[in-house]
């Protein structure tokens, strides 16, 4: 039976793998550009950049994700019921109470972030609070606490930072290769082609890093959330309401999309959006599993 800590060790290993892949990609691109431009400083810059971004993704990914979503701390007086609900569920899950944030957005959605349970946060939209009944909201919060307990939030939050910065560094290195190269240097064609391919495919590599966040994590979090509340129908009903809203969030971002419980670009997004969010299984499958269909 699924438990709150079923995939904790696996997700910790996956987090280190993400950071290692990021370092290797940036290092290889930097090394190839040194051969192309003759400027050895590029490699040192690439190494320093990758180390800095890995450290940033580990220590500050939660802060960056919260800022990117425009979330604000939930006032303890105004949102007293929400705080109480989160605290009660955290006690049931055997976890510290995470920080609670509010996103001013009519689209019903939520996410969890942070490098570990002691530094975790849950953010919910005003639309979620306005749309869901109490048992449905409890199901969503239990789902997010399951991500925290399983350390899903570590690999998910790291992916937010690394996905964005891989795209930035590859664009920067592409510009260097176009305008900073020494055209008279004798660079092996295979090396040059490899470098150009890595730079062009940088965003694709970044997306694959994001896809490393397994689709199975959502099913596991759904099952664990249902175990916490002992009422699977609450979460199933909440997922239906979230997916049926259809309109995008005001500040939807591809880099943070995998953090949310539902598609922040709208439940009825087209084929391109469905491919973009393939880290999330179809909502109808999740609902069916919760209801045992």
Domain boundaries, the chain: 8-63+154-211, 75-151+215-290
Give yes or no: 144 in active site.
yes
- pLDDT of amino acid 60: 76
For 212, other C-beta atoms within 10 Å of its C-beta total: 16
Catalytic residue among 136, 138, 144, 218: 144
The answer to whether residues 250 and 105 touch, using CB atoms and an 8 Å cutoff, is yes
> Residue 269 pLDDT more than 60?
no
Torsion, CA 142, CA 213, CA 23, CA 70, rounded to 10: -50
Q: What is the mean pLDDT of residues 235-250?
A: 93
CA 90 – CA 228 distance, rounded (Å): 9
Query: What does the chain come to in residues?
Result: 293
75-151+215-290 topology per CATH = Zincin-like (3.30.2010)
CA 130 – CA 39 distance, rounded (Å): 57
Q: Binning pLDDT at 50, 70 and 90, where does residue 281 land? A: confident
Higher-confidence position of 26 and 249: 249
Tokens of 228: 């916490």
Q: What global pTM score does this model have?
A: 0.73
- pLDDT of amino acid 220: 84
**Which residue's entry shows tokens 């303890």?**
76
């Amino acid at each position: 039976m699924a438990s709150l800590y079923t995939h904790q060790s696996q997700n910790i290993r996956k987090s280190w793998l993400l950071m290692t892949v990021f370092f290797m990609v940036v290092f290889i691109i930097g090394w190839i550009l040194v051969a192309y431009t003759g400027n050895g400083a590029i490699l040192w810059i690439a190494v320093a950049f990758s180390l800095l971004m890995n450290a940033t993704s580990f220590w500050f990914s939660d802060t960056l994700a919260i800022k990117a979503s425009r979330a604000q701390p939930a006032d303890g007086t105004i949102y007293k019921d929400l705080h109480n609900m989160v605290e009660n569920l955290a006690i049931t899950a055997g976890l510290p109470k995470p920080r609670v944030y509010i996103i001013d957005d009519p689209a019903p959605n939520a996410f969890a972030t942070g490098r570990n349970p002691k530094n975790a946060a849950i953010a919910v939209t005003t639309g979620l609070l306005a749309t869901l009944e109490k048992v449905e909201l409890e199901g969503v919060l239990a789902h997010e606490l399951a991500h925290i307990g399983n350390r899903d939030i570590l690999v998910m939050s790291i992916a937010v930072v690394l996905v964005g910065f891989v795209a930035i560094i590859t664009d920067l290195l592409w510009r260097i290769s176009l305008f900073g190269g020494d055209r008279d240097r004798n660079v092996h064609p295979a090396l040059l082609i490899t470098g150009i391919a890595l730079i062009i495919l940088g965003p694709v590599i970044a997306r694959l890093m994001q896809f490393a966040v397994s689709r199975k994590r959502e099913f596991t979090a759904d099952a664990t959330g249902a175990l916490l509340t002992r009422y699977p129908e609450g979460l199933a009903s909440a997922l239906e309401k979230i997916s049926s809203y259809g309109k995008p969030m005001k500040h939807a971002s591809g880099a943070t999309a995998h953090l949310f419980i539902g598609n922040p670009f709208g439940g009825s997004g087209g084929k391109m959006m469905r491919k973009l969010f393939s880290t999330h299984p179809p909502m109808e499958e999740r609902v069916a599993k919760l209801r045992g269909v």
